Amino acid sequence: MAHTNVSPVRFEHRDSSPLGIGTATPRLSWQVTTDDPDWHQTSYELDCDGTVVRVDTAEQLLVPWPFTPLTSRARATVRVRVASGESWTHWSEPATVEAGLLAPEEWDARFISPAILGRIGDPAPILSRTVTLRSGVGIASARLYATAHGVYTATLNGVRVGDEILAPGWTSYGNRLRYATHDVTELLRAGHNELSVLLGNGWYRGRLGWSEPPRALYGDRLALLAQLEVTYTDGSTQTVVTDEQWSAHNSSVLADDIYDGQRTDLRPATTAGAADTVEVVEADLGRLVAPEGPPVRATEVVPAVKVWASPSGRTLIDFGQNLVGWVRLTARPPHDATEVTIRHAEVLDEHGELGVRPLRTAEATDTYLLPTADAAGGNNKQHEALVLEPSLTFHGFRYAEVTGLNGLAPADAEAVVIGTDLRRTGWFSCSDPDVNQFHQNVVWGMRGNFLDVPTDCPQRDERLGWTGDIQVFSPTAAFLFDTAGFLSSWLADLDADQHPDGAVPFVIPDVLREEHPTAAAWGDAATVVPSVLHERYADPEVLRGQFDSMRAWTDVVASRTTDGVVVGGFQFGDWLDPDAPPDNPFAAKADPDVVATACLARSAGLTAEAARITGRDGDAERYAALADRTRDAFIRHYVTSAGRVLSDAPTVYALAIAWDLLPTPAQRAGAGERLADLVRSSAFRIATGFVGTPLITDALTTTGHPDLAYRLLLERGCPSWLYPVTMGATTVWERWDSMLPDGTINPGQMTSFNHYALGAVADWLHRTLAGLAPAAPGYRHITIRPVPYPAFTHAEARHVTPYGEASAAWRREGDQLTVEAVVPPGSTATVHLPGADPTKGPVEVRHGRHSWTVPVPAAPAAELTTVRDLIDAPKLWKDAVNLLIDHGLGRDASDIARRAGRYLNVPPLDLPLHLAGKSGDSSAAAARRALADLL
How many H-runs (helices) and E-runs (strands) does the chain carry? 19, 46
Q: Distances from the Cα of 133 to the Cαs of 232, 240, 248, 534, 802, in angstroms?
A: 10, 10, 21, 48, 44
Q: Alpha-carbon distance 766 to 899, whole Å? A: 34
Residue 836 falls within a domain, yes or no?
Answer: yes
User: 204-213, 352-361, 673-682, 815-824: which range is least confident on average?
Assistant: 204-213
- Going by their DSSP bridges, the two strands 191-200 and 125-133 should be labelled as antiparallel
Residue 215 falls within a domain, yes or no?
Answer: yes
What pLDDT is attached to residue 920? 62
- Provide the pLDDT confidence category of residue 919 given band limits of 50, 70 and 90: low
Contact (CB, 8 A) for 184 and 160: no
pLDDT for residue 604 is more than 80: yes
The amino acid present at 133, given as its one-letter code, is: L
Residue 728 falls within a domain, yes or no?
Answer: no
What pLDDT is attached to residue 839? 82
pTM exceeds 0.95 for this model: yes
Query: Is residue 384 located within the same domain as residue 311?
Result: yes
pLDDT for residue 270 is more than 90: no
Residue 833 falls within a domain, yes or no?
Answer: yes
Query: Is residue 823 located within the same domain as residue 892?
Result: no
What pLDDT is attached to residue 179? 98
Average pLDDT over residues 618-625: 98
Q: Alpha-carbon distance 519 to 504, whole Å? A: 8
Residue 755 falls within a domain, yes or no?
Answer: no
Task: Report the Cα 763 to chain-centroid distance in Å.
Answer: 12
- Provide the pLDDT confidence category of residue 268 given band limits of 50, 70 and 90: confident
Residue 746 exposed, middle or buried by CB count within 10 Å (0-12, 13-18, 19+): buried
pLDDT for residue 378 is more than 60: no
For the chain, what is the mean pLDDT?
95
Average pLDDT over residues 498-526: 96
Contact (CB, 8 A) for 167 and 200: no
Residue 693 falls within a domain, yes or no?
Answer: yes
Residue 722 falls within a domain, yes or no?
Answer: no
The amino acid present at 928, given as its one-letter code, is: R
Residue 196's closest CA among 277, 126, 96, 101?
Answer: 126
Q: At what angle do helices 706-714 and 693-702 cross, to 10 degrees?
A: 150
Range of the domain at 317: 302-420
What pLDDT is attached to residue 836? 85
Q: Distances from the Cα of 669 to the Cαs of 598, 641, 705, 799, in angstroms?
A: 18, 11, 11, 33
Q: Which residues contact 428 (CB under 8 A, 6 or more apart)?
A: 436, 439, 762, 765, 766, 770, 795, 796, 797, 798
Give the total number of structural domains in the chain: 6
What pLDDT is attached to residue 918? 66
Query: Is residue 185 located within the same domain as residue 95?
Result: no
- Provide the pLDDT confidence category of residue 377 given band limits of 50, 70 and 90: very low
Average pLDDT over residues 346-354: 96
List the alpha helices (DSSP H) in 867-910. Answer: 867-871, 874-886, 893-900
For residue range 402-453, what is the model confidence (pLDDT) as tens digits? 999 988 999 999 999 999 999 999 999 999 999 999 999 999 999 999 999 9
Q: At what angle do helices 650-658 and 665-681 cross, to 10 degrees?
A: 140
Measured CA angle at 11 (ends 7, 17), to 5 deg: 75
Q: Alpha-carbon distance 426 to 422, whole Å? A: 12
Query: Is residue 124 located within the same domain as residue 190?
Result: yes
- Chosen domain end from 386, 404, 420: 420
User: 56-65, 669-678, 702-711, 862-871: which range is least confident on average?
Assistant: 862-871
Average pLDDT over residues 277-295: 97
- 783, β-bridge pairs: 773, 830
- Chosen domain end from 395, 420, 445: 420
The residues annotated as belonging to the active site are: 462, 734
Query: Is residue 207 located within the same domain as residue 284?
Result: yes
Query: Is residue 431 located within the same domain as residue 511?
Result: yes
Q: Alpha-carbon distance 115 to 125, whole Å? A: 11
Contact (CB, 8 A) for 751 and 738: yes
Query: Is residue 269 located within the same domain as residue 162?
Result: yes
Average pLDDT over residues 205-232: 91
Residue 445 falls within a domain, yes or no?
Answer: yes
Q: Alpha-carbon distance 338 to 752, whole Å? A: 33
What pLDDT is attached to residue 838? 80
Task: For residue 87, give the CATH number of its domain.
Answer: 2.60.40.10
pLDDT for residue 199 is more than 50: yes
- Chosen domain end from 855, 876, 896: 855
Q: Alpha-carbon distance 651 to 699, whole Å? A: 10
pLDDT for residue 1 is more than 80: no
pLDDT for residue 332 is more than 80: no
What would the DSSP string read from start to end of 225-288?
EEEEEEEETTS-EEEEE-STT-EEEE-SEEEEETTTEEEEE-STTSS--S-EEEEE----GGGE
Task: For residue 163, give the CATH number of its domain.
Answer: 2.60.120.260
Query: Is residue 708 located within the same domain as residue 616?
Result: yes
Which of the residue ranges 206-220, 773-787, 879-893 has the most confident prediction, judged by mean pLDDT? 773-787
Query: Is residue 39 located within the same domain as residue 81?
Result: yes
| Percent of the chain residues past pLDDT 70, beyond the cut | 97
Query: Is residue 533 located within the same domain as residue 589?
Result: yes
pLDDT for residue 662 is more than 80: yes
**DSSP E strand boundaries for 134-219:** 139-149, 151-156, 159-160, 177-178, 180-183, 191-200
For residue range 104-148, what is the model confidence (pLDDT) as tens digits? 999 999 999 999 999 999 999 999 999 999 999 999 999 999 999
pLDDT for residue 834 is more than 90: yes
Query: Is residue 172 located within the same domain as residue 221?
Result: yes
pLDDT for residue 303 is more than 70: yes
Query: Is residue 687 located within the same domain as residue 592?
Result: yes
